[in-house]
Amino acid sequence: MSSVAHTPPAVAAIPRQPGPAAPRPTVPVHTVEVRTHPQDVPALPGQVMDAIGQVVPVAAVEPMSGGLTAHLADGARLRVLAGPPAQPRSRPAGTVQLTVLLEDSGRLPQETADRLMGAVERIPFTALECAELAGQMPLTHHLPEHLPSGALTGIAPVLTVHHMSDFLVLVDAVMRLGVPAQAITVLDKGYRYLHTARVDAHLAALGVRVWPWEQAADALADHTRRAREMGLRGLLVDDGGYTLPVLIEQRPDLLDIFCGLVEQTMSGITKLQPYGDRLPVPVFSVAQSRLKATIEPYGIADAAWRNLVRLLPQEKFEGQAALVLGFGRIGAQLAEVLRTRRMRVAVHDRSTAALVAAMEHGFTTGPVVTELLEEHRPLLIVGSTGRTSLAGEHTASLHRDCYLVSVTSRDREFALEEMRQAATAVSDAGRLGFRLHLPQQITATVIADGYPINFHYAESLPNKYADLVLASLIVGAATLAADGHGFTAGHNVARTDQVLEGSGLLERYYARFGPQEGNR
């Protein structure tokens, strides 16, 4: 995965002409690091300037050593510089430091000035970074070589996938399978990923239309109009049930153009449950497939732990109590990961069968959440049920400072508004999330504001992990795009397993990471 190091806005001194009492004014500075080939460095300040031009009009641009000076609206002036990092040997080869210095903010509002500083993050990925991403995800990158040529020709996909760097490899593969950029619509789920701004900028540079997920109905209407103008069939590739329920409930008039849905997550499958056998299109359920179950649950559990430790580097978890809510695929792996980190792990689940499974694995278990909270006194509470697992009433059973962590899509795992009402005060914890100050004189910190921790300013699964699942999404799309695919309206779990396990993906994955001689 490409490395982009974010440096928070700082203050740098810019000296004036020498004098006995010359003041040293300060200017806001924002810096990021990208990686690129030497011949591409001169183009980087111009890309940043393009991003700046989307915030305020640029009246004039002057070249300067190592970058550009821009004169903006309202008398503002800034510099964009590209150069080597301060300690080149501590960075990977090809690292370039991009810096924006707002020398004079003029009459710009503070909010606009802040957006200008963030423009340095809104540039497309470089050719070197894209090549590295492709190398990290060979299954997805090389999939067009294993599928029929032009397997997605005639298809206009709506892609609702996490805006991480691995997504760009999927989009590239989709385009190489015959989909023009202007036929793609992307819904941005709005999570605080590590590289969101750059991913969005890259998609925009390709000509892909990006909509916020809150405007799904309008996005689907716009997508359908464009698809019909191009004579293409629509196809949904979703991660969390953001699209098909909207079509069914709000825009059933658009359904006729869509030939199917490829769903990646169980939260998306759960959102389809109310429709029973009334689903109007075939569903290729990567979410329920045996292939996905082989690697992803542990990967998500491990990513959640790694991000938790990154966010709380001074906390001591060893020997402390943890409570895992939900003992499904991911919850079971989370419990094991926490135990390997020497935590004392308890498990709650609504299902007696799941409680028995957790008990047989040696975990403390209980059918009543309040009793586990009071008796186990967890430092760490992790929700993995996919529904609301902790309500406002449960806060009265917390008897020590603790952390609430979710690995569920969006912020549904905890009843956050109820919890706020139960608190005597709520305070902002910055990048960490927010804190609930409870009547019993303890503090519960809601990490990532209740959103999944594995995505919080992170890339979640390593790209080598995500490769198999993203390649599966493309196999699903190509399958539903083909004539005679054998899928019927509604869920097709067995057929999905048959297609994925016959696609060669697992064999190629095993060849890459298995014990074969010469494996890399």
pLDDT in tens, 110-149: 888 888 888 888 999 999 999 999 999 999 999 999 999 9
Options 3.80.10.10, 3.40.50.1480, 3.40.50.300, 3.10.20.30; CATH of 130-292+465-513: 3.40.50.1480
- Considering the entire predicted model, what is its pTM? 0.84
With cut-offs at 50, 70 and 90, classify the pLDDT of residue 517. Answer: low
Handedness of CA 275, 281, 282, 285 (dihedral sign): negative
**Lookup: tokens for 239:** 């991660």
Q: Which residues are paired to 402 by β-bridges?
A: 444
Residue type, 510: Y
> Residue type at 297?
P
In the prediction, which pLDDT does 23 show?
39
pLDDT band at 412 (very low <50, low <70, confident <90, very high): confident
Which neighbouring-strand residues pair with 77?
Answer: 71, 104
118 and 201 Cβ atoms separated by less than 8 Å: no
What's the rounded mean pLDDT across residues 339-352? Answer: 96
pLDDT at 384 over 60: yes
Residue 27: per-residue pLDDT: 55
Q: Per-residue pLDDT tens for 303-331?
A: 899 999 999 999 999 999 999 999 998 99
CATH topology identical between 6-122 and 130-292+465-513: no
294-455: which CATH architecture?
Answer: 3-Layer(aba) Sandwich (3.40)
Q: Is residue 216 a contact partner of residue 272, using CB atoms and an 8 Å limit? A: no
High-pLDDT (> 90) share of the chain, %: 72
Tokens of 44: 């980087």
What CA–CA distance (Å, rounded) separates 75 from 491?
A: 59
The mean pLDDT value for 374-379 works out to: 96
CATH topology of domain 6-122: TATA-Binding Protein (3.30.310)
- Kindly report the number of other CB atoms within 10 A of residue 96's CB atom: 21
**In what helix (H) or strand (E) does residue 297 lie, and over which residues does it extend?**
helix 290-311
How much is the pLDDT for 459? 66
Over residues 21-34, the pLDDT tens digits come to 433 344 578 888 99
DSSP letters along 451-509, please?
SBGGGTTS--S-HHHHHHHHHHHHHHHHHHHSTT----BEE-HHHHHHHHHTTTHHHHH
Average pLDDT value for residue range 446-450 = 93
Q: What is the pLDDT of residues 220-238, one digit of tens each?
A: 999 999 999 999 999 999 9
Q: Which of 364, 370, 372 is nearest to 396 (CA)?
A: 370
pLDDT at 106 over 90: no
Domain positions in the chain: 6-122, 130-292+465-513, 294-455
What are the respective helix, strand and coil percentages of the chain, to the nearest 5?
A: 45, 25, 35
Provide the mean pLDDT of the chain.
90
pLDDT value at residue 519: 53
Region 236-256: mean pLDDT is 96
User: For residue 74, what are its two tokens?
Assistant: 């309202």
Average pLDDT over residues 79-90: 88
Q: What are the pLDDT digits (tens) for 464-495?
A: 888 999 999 999 999 999 999 999 999 999 99
pLDDT reading at 502 higher than 60: yes
pLDDT band at 8 (very low <50, low <70, confident <90, very high): very low
Which region, left, alpha or beta, applies to residue 119 given φ > 0 means left and ψ of -120 to 50 means alpha? alpha
pLDDT at 12 exceeding the cut of 50:
no
